[in-house]
Structure 1
Amino acid sequence: MKAIKLNKVYIWAIALIMAGCTDLEIEQTDSVFADLSGEFSGVEAGPSLSALYNSVRGQIENQENLYALTEVSTDEFVVPTRGTDWGDNGVWRTLHSHTWSATHQRVKNTWNDMNSNVYNATTIIDSRSNPTPQQAAEAKFLRAYSMFWLIDLFGQVPFRTPDEGPDVNPNVMTRSEAFDFAVTDLTEAIPNLPSTGPSADLVGASKAAGMLLLAKFYLNKHIFTGTGTAAAADMNQVISLVDDIKAEGFDLQAGFFELFTDDVDSETIFFTTSSVGNNIWNGLHYKQIVPDQAGGWNGFTTIAEFYDLFEGDPNINTPGSGQEERRGFVPTDGTNFGIGNGFLIGQQYDANGDPYTDRTGAPLVFTKELPGLLGNNERTGIRVIKYNPANGAFANHKIVLRYADAHLMKAEALMRSGGDATALINELRTLRGATPIGSVTEQDILDERGRELYGEQWRRNDLIRFGQFTAPWSYKEVSGDDTKNLFPIPATAIISNPNLVQNPGY
């Protein structure tokens, strides 16, 4: 244990650690200690790395901050107000309608979470913390993961070294500088990460996870660095990295909804022990119950345009209706306690196969259309569920990175470098029970990513890369404003650090 004196603890360091930890008691060995001159003496690398993983776990579990910014701001999800339910002073409505501001709480929280991760990882990586090569590599992976979201969401990254005290305003990396920094982190980390194929041990960073995150950076490089056009060399990097991931033993797997359980599969590359309860219950109706949860929270829905991307009769989604596998189904015989997979539309049924009614006694029929972001009743909106509560109402197994994403990234990189991605797209579509496409276009690839990866926090990033994040869709108030491709730097951060410059449009 490192020797410390409590009267030499920087309050700012404790605050950063506490902000970055979830459900973890902070001990002296977990915190960052410095004397009053700013001298940093290191942290206990092992416990601090565990605390950092725990912080990331909590952030991924949360439906409010990172998840809200990456999903509710897109055409995948909308959170309509139902009476007074889900009003929350408009925080959900402003995300979907693209009318957020620099004081939006979800924006502020996400900024703080990711910056806290970056700083805490930096203290672990520091040589004075004496990390093992693998500990340093895992911390670099988590730092790069957090920097990815700062680059993607905000376009700039403040960076404080462990020796800098609270009187020092952190330097701010541009988007391009932060890209280079994170790519260096991953390039250095991958050789020292464990080579772990499909298993139950993928709760920590592995070579495959590092390679997939690095491929994400290269796929988005033309966006992050502002060149506007994907370079063939960068796309070749993506293709090569995905091939290397496959060589680690990962591959596509049949049985789409079986992937979203805690069983070992060939697709999951990195998961956390985050509870999936929010993803299950934030959309289900109050009366939809299982033995270990007495009903949903009746909030999140999708919009008709996104639902219509899937094959099948748009007006019915019961078993055997000709829909592709990923659209799921609404069981009519009590299967899975009556709770379906995928997109729940139309009449809903209980565990006995009897039709549900809502709390007013009306048939519980989830509708395709909403009256708007306001004025909704209990039944409006298609509900979306990937993690079925039959596998645990609050199961602790949430996928962060998986191979189907990498497969589609390879297809996109091939298309962007002048190749033909049709075979790769159809390989996945055939596996998912969808009709093969004759000739794949850029729009086909974006749509396929939506069908495969809905709810996995990539939709906003994808829409921006394909130039469609500012396009109009239902219940969206602001369209065509490219400044919305970045969120504002929180007002409190601008005030506290004069090195930050507010993003255009705010």
Structure 2
Amino acid sequence: MKLYIKLKPVLLSALTVALLVSCTDLEIEETDSLISKDSGATGFTGLTNTESSLNDLYNKVGGDFQTQENMYALSEVSTDELLVPTRGTDWGDNGIWRQLHTHTWTPAHLFVKNSWNNLNQNIFRATEIIESNPSNSVLAEAKFLRAFNMFFVMDLFGSVPFRGVDEGPDVNPKVMSRSEAYSFVETDLLEALPNLESITPGTENTGKASQEAANFLLAKLYLNAAIYNGSGTFDNADMQKVIDAVDAIQAKGFALQEGYFQIFEPTDDTETIWHLNSEVASRIWNTLHYSQNSPDNDGGGWNGFTTLSDFYNSFEGAPNTNYVGDGQEERRGFVPDANNANNQNLGIGYGFLIGQQYDQNGNPLTNRQGDPLVFTKEIPALVGNTEVEGVRVIKYHPYDPTDEEDQINSFRKHQIMFRFADAHLMKAEAMMRMGQDPTATVNELRQKRADTPDLTSVDEQELLDERGRELFLEYWRRNDLIRFGQFTAPWSLKEVSGDETTNLFPIPETALLSNPNLVQNPGY
């Protein structure tokens, strides 16, 4: 499928989002307090086609996680990885992006409300499938999807509302504490495991729930147990469960792969454990300048998302340029220049784009004023910026070598959610928290990435930095920063918050009004 669109770099309207996800089976969304037509006063009689409902749920989850707003914004833009600076009036959007960067959001923040509603809707839809006497395989996949969505409600908001399928509008959903939700997620995953398919690496089956995906989510759950149970202490028994879950994935053939950016192409690899059928357009165009384009998007980028200089500096290589031969590690990518630009990369580089940018013929690009398009390393302020401030970051690329027709498919549906490199680093972290040296394990990964020298030692800070270098833009930075105690720390254009309040997002105002069992998180 090709889409020929040009979008202004502003907060996408509901209509625009609908256009972007036009291949996804989305319905008008109810909030967590509204009732399905098959439940309530008349009694829940079960869904008529659980397999179709399961497919719809996969599509719904894929749609929820493919936009640049909501879940992606809460997970990434709230961290030191991404900043969306206002350029003139572009990306102003009443400060909604700046609030994420500075941790000054409120319970009325649109992305907070949308994420809460979407995740809780998915939990309820999964529960409807589970309570409709499905086949064992459908039951297992529905439990996995319920666990996946509940994991993020628990992670982002703490408490989790839960409505039974037979509860009508006169019943306020019960609310699980964070520790209760933790046990619920764990139970769903453990019960699902025996009836989930075990998949082979490098197959198309990575688009559905599997035993390996369930083990990955269990590892993520156990790794964060100290946060979710409130103890702040990483228990050796939990860390051993992390290692066991990762070992179970590895035993099925999943392994670290040579190379890096090709992993994010829709081709066979040994690292992808679970991907969503989500269009990756916003992962490409929200960071590129208006002058950067490809044959299927000659309207150019949206000129929004950038990274911070400190995050860029965490990679090996020349400090102020990123051209081929600048001594950079593979994961930092490169900017094609006049000497190495070619039709295969369309002039758009990989990874971190800084300095002069070029077109596919090696000609220097210009901005809209006709000046050289040179991305600067530093961003002077949250507002008042020109078109060129900030290093741009691109992980999914518009060039698709699997498309034999025209070798372009920037809207392909293949967004990786679970990857073995993440599992491998989770194992290294679990080892570290048990008092073992993780250096050799971390270096096993680095040896699979070109021009990435071994580390001589790995402490907590180095391991957090390594997770950032490997997993940038993959939904886990906020989760990692909280676990390492750094989410409320200061970074460029953000002051220290002074307390741990923002480690949880607020419960949306609308949810509190609709369900009196909910209690607002402290500090909001």
Identify the TM-score tier after normalising by the shorter chain: over 0.9
**1:408 counterpart residue number:** 425
Contact preservation (8 Å) 2:490, 2:497: yes
Offset from partner CA, 1:431-471 (integer Å, 9 cap, x none)? 21312111210111100000000000100000000000000
**2:148 counterpart residue number:** 145
**1:15 counterpart residue number:** none
**Aligned equivalents of 2:486, 2:175: Cα separation in 1:** 28
Q: Which is bigger in relative contact order (C-alpha 8 A, separation at least 6)?
A: 2
**1:7 counterpart residue number:** none
Offset from partner CA, 1:188-218 (integer Å, 9 cap, x none)? 0011100101112211001100000011100
- Partner of residue 395 from structure 2, selected from 381, 386, 390: 386
**2:341 counterpart residue number:** 334
Q: 313-322 or 100-109: which moved more?
A: 313-322
**Aligned equivalents of 1:93, 1:33: Cα separation in 2:** 39
**1:220 counterpart residue number:** 224
Shift of 1:359: 0.5
Shift of 1:255: 1.1
Cα 1:502–1:35 change in 2 (3 A) is: closer
Matched, 1:130 2:117: no
SS class of match (2:207): coil
Shift of 1:480: 2.9
- TM-score for both structures, normalised by structure 2: 0.90
Matched, 1:359 2:360: no
- Paired residues, what number? 483
- TM-score for both structures, normalised by structure 1: 0.93
Contact preservation (8 Å) 1:472, 1:480: no
Alignment of 1:465-504 (within 5 A): 465-504=483-522
**Aligned equivalents of 2:144, 2:22: Cα separation in 1:** 17
Alignment of 1:310-349 (within 5 A): 310-332=315-337, 333-335=340-342, 336-349=345-358
Alignment of 1:403-482 (within 5 A): 403-432=420-449, 433-482=451-500
Report the RMSD for the aligned CA atoms in angstroms: 1.6
**Aligned equivalents of 1:427, 1:183: Cα separation in 2:** 30
SS class of match (1:223): helix
Give 5+ residue unaligned stretches, structure 2. 1-17, 29-34, 401-408
**1:253 counterpart residue number:** 257
**Aligned equivalents of 1:231, 1:361: Cα separation in 2:** 58
Contact preservation (8 Å) 2:40, 2:167: no
SS class of match (2:25): coil
Matched, 1:24 2:25: yes
**1:109 counterpart residue number:** 114
SS class of match (1:270): strand
Query: Identity rate of aligned residues, in percent?
Result: 60
Which amino acid counterpart does residue 387 of structure 2 have in structure 1?
Answer: E
Cα 1:35–1:289 change in 2 (3 A) is: closer
Matched, 1:201 2:205: yes
Give 5+ residue unaligned stretches, structure 1. 1-17
Offset from partner CA, 1:28-52 (integer Å, 9 cap, x none)? xxx9444763411011211111111
Shift of 1:178: 0.3
- Partner of residue 66 from structure 1, selected from 68, 71, 75: 71
**1:173 counterpart residue number:** 176
Contact preservation (8 Å) 1:21, 1:51: no
Contact preservation (8 Å) 2:26, 2:59: no
More helix by share: 1
**Aligned equivalents of 2:479, 2:518: Cα separation in 1:** 23
**1:13 counterpart residue number:** none
**Aligned equivalents of 1:235, 1:119: Cα separation in 2:** 31
Shift of 1:394: 1.3
Contact preservation (8 Å) 1:176, 1:225: yes
**Aligned equivalents of 2:471, 2:169: Cα separation in 1:** 41
Contact preservation (8 Å) 1:124, 1:139: yes
**2:31 counterpart residue number:** none
SS class of match (1:289): coil
Shift of 1:393: 1.6
